[in-house]
Structure 1
Amino acid sequence: MIEVLGLSKHYGGRKAVDDVTFTARPGRVTGFLGPNGAGKSTTLRVLLGLDAPTSGRALVAGRRYRDLAQPLRTVGALLEGAGPVPERRAADHLMWLARSNRIPRRRVREVLDLTGLAEAARRRVKTYSLGMRQRLGIAAALLGEPDVLILDEPVNGLDPDGIRWVRDLLRDHAASGRTVLLSSHFMAETAGIADDVVIVHRGRVVVRGSLAEVTAGHASLEEAFFARTGDRTGGPR
């Protein structure tokens, strides 16, 4: 389970995240939505130990990420904008991650096969397309066979076949009793995957619940989102 409890993060006088509370439960895909600048990325960074909270807690399996001895075996993550050294070969990047978390070498080959990158494994990351880099990021997230997946815009840059592959991957992960937290701007795609939805706006949670509860009275998840945020422009990051 992912638990975010009374989480706040301030940068000087600016409240990026303000008393955010929600859970992402095993066996379910939780969509984490909000306009640009709503606090989604900051919440994920705190959850993954990249930023310290001003107050509150963000826990994975009841522990802070930094307290996990071999974090890739518990939580796999893909953050937008993060990635390997461009000059490094994809296989070498995954092998380094595997060694650092005591993951068997065979698992590197397995995730390369799973993500369709086996034939490009010896190429340097800088030669990859955006879609291939997304697949590599997902391969890294899956490396430790984690119970928890935290993915930020995982379908960005993927073609329709790749989007369907990610959709099936996340559904299967949740169906096996594991936890998925999906942050995305793609409303229709999220509506086709998510069991639960959390919407944040201006650093605060404006609605959370099952997909059916959040969309009740609205024609779609997109309409429910706009009704809650009043944001049809996207706004600045």
Structure 2
Amino acid sequence: MIEIIGVTKKYGRTTAVENVSFTAKPGRVTGFLGPNGAGKSTTLRVLLGLDRPTAGHALINGKPYATLSQPLRTVGAMIDGASAVPERRGIDHLRWIAQSNRIPPGRIGAVLETVGLTDAAKTRVKKYSLGMKQRLGLAAALLGEPGILVLDEPVNGLDPEGIRTVRMFLRRYADQGNAVLLSSHLMSETAETVDDIVIINKARIVAAGTLDEITDGHANLEEAFFALTGTQSGQSW
């Protein structure tokens, strides 16, 4: 499971997140929501060892990410899309990641098929659309068959059919006993996917619970989100 325990991160005098705590449990999809600048990306960066917390701990199966010997076999992450070298072919990007984590090369074809990129495997990443880059990022996250997925805006740039495919995949993945933590700005789609919700606003957690608990008394997740964060439809979030 994922455990965020009292995490605070400061950049100089700016507090990006303050005393943030929540869990993402096995067998469940946890949605991590908040307006732009609320602290979502910082929290995920701390979890994945990209930033060091000023205080608190972020643990994956009880350990900091940096201590995992073969991290892709434990947690698959997609932050900022594929983050691949533009001149590199999609298949070569995955080969490099597989080799660095001692993942059998046979997994490459499997994940390309899972995300629907088999026909574009030998195309250079610079020719990929945004949606294709998102698919490549998801393929990279799945390479090590991890028990945990951490995904930042995984359906950004996908068409409606692609969004439905990812939703169904994540649901099956969690139902197999894996933990999924995802951030998204698509409220209706998030509500179709998640079991649990964590909402962050102005660097602090303002609500956490099951989807039913968060939406209780509201027409839908979007209405609950606006009420809890003080934002309005059409604002940047």
TM-score range, shorter chain: over 0.9
Give 2:235's aligned amino acid.
G
Secondary structure of the equivalent of 1:192?
A: helix
Cα distance, 1:80 vs. partner? 2.2
Cα distance, 1:113 vs. partner? 1.1
Cα distance, 1:119 vs. partner? 1.2
Query: What pairs up with 1:43-192 in 2 under 5 angstroms?
Result: 43-80=43-80, 83-192=83-192
Cα distance, 1:82 vs. partner? 5.5
Aligned to 1:213: 213
Cα distance, 1:235 vs. partner? 4.3
Distance 1:52 1:109 in 2: 35
Structure 1: give runs of 5+ residues left out of the alignment.
none
1:181-226 CA distances to partner (integer Å, 9 max, x unpaired)?
A: 0100110000001100000000000000000000000000001000
Give 2:92's aligned amino acid.
D
Give 2:207's aligned amino acid.
V
Cα distance, 1:41 vs. partner? 0.2
Aligned to 1:234: 235
Contact (CA 8 Å) 2:81, 2:137: kept in 1 or not? no
Cα distance change of structure 1 residues 82 and 122 upon mapping to structure 2, 3 Å threshold: closer
1:146-167 CA distances to partner (integer Å, 9 max, x unpaired)?
A: 0000001011000111001100
Secondary structure of the equivalent of 2:146?
A: coil
Identity %: 64
Aligned to 2:21: 21
CA RMSD of aligned residues (A): 1.0
Moved over 4 A (4+): none
Contact (CA 8 Å) 1:36, 1:234: kept in 2 or not? no
Secondary structure of the equivalent of 1:126?
A: helix
Give 1:95's aligned amino acid.
R
Distance 2:54 2:139 in 1: 32
Cα distance, 1:118 vs. partner? 1.0
Query: What TM-score results when the alignment is normalised by the length of structure 1?
Result: 0.98
Distance 2:29 2:113 in 1: 24
Distance 2:76 2:43 in 1: 16
1:11-40 CA distances to partner (integer Å, 9 max, x unpaired)?
A: 111110000000000000000000000000
Give 1:194's aligned amino acid.
V
Secondary structure of the equivalent of 1:188?
A: helix
Distance 1:166 1:61 in 2: 25
Structure 2: give runs of 5+ residues left out of the alignment.
none
